[in-house]
Structure 1
Amino acid sequence: MALDPMNAAAAYRNAAVGQPLGLAPGTAPTPIGGEEAGPGSRFVDMVRTAAQDAIDANRNAEQLGMDAVAGKASVQEVVTAVSEAEATLQTVVAVRDRIISAYQEILRMPI
């Protein structure tokens, strides 16, 4: 498959303005198999959901910490929530590191 520099530049420009693959805003690309992408099946949606889950876990841990100071939650609940938030954060950091590594590998590929 030959790469056309003009097409690559156009794809880069479209991605920079939020229109990957030259699609109109809000249009999902059609998968290779030909099926239309359903709601939540896109990679961006998966990443957004994972980030929201991490934020929710941290907020829950903070809220339980404040509840414990006020005497409304046990130390066990706080420790469990903080451990879950820490595990979620470690997962997010590991995924971020893998994405950066993959991006750097793509940059090193000869054209």
Structure 2
Amino acid sequence: MVDTTALAATQAYSKAISSATGAKPEAVSNEAIEGPSFAEMLSDAGTDAIETGVNAEQVSLEAITGNTGLADIVTAVSNAEATLETVVAVRDRVIQAYQDIIKMPI
């Protein structure tokens, strides 16, 4: 019978990676741990989103004074809009994941 536990799947995946790369399984698992944490990545993404919004506001203010062109304004506003849509999509996914977790039986 095939073992379908999460531990067995993780070990099989680790073996597949090590055989494909020639690395030891321990080296593969340590590599994954050394990267930035999820909280750091989320914080960086939030900071980038805020900077994009601030940049769009600055370009809009420069447009009022006549110091920038129409193409710069459109580019800054569309970047801010795309960033806002991304933030809203991530927020919606986080809320959905939280609701799914809450619905799980204990």
Counterpart-to-counterpart distance in 2, 1:37 and 1:75: 46
Q: Aligned residue for 2:38?
A: 43
* Structure 1 gap segments, 5+ residues each: 1-32
- Taking structure 2 as the reference length, what is the TM-score of the superposition? 0.68
- Taking structure 1 as the reference length, what is the TM-score of the superposition? 0.65
SS of equivalent to 1:91? helix
For 1:8-47, list aligned pairs within 5 A.
Answer: 33=29, 37-38=33-34, 41-47=36-42
Q: Aligned residue for 1:108?
A: 103
Q: Aligned residue for 1:76?
A: 71
* Structure 2 gap segments, 5+ residues each: 1-28
Report the RMSD for the aligned CA atoms in angstroms: 1.5
Q: Report percent identity of matched pairs.
A: 51
User: Between Structure 1 and Structure 2, which shows a larger proportion of helix residues?
Assistant: 2
Aligned residues: 78
Alignment-mate amino acid for residue 45 of structure 1: E
Moved >3 Å (runs of 4+):
33-38
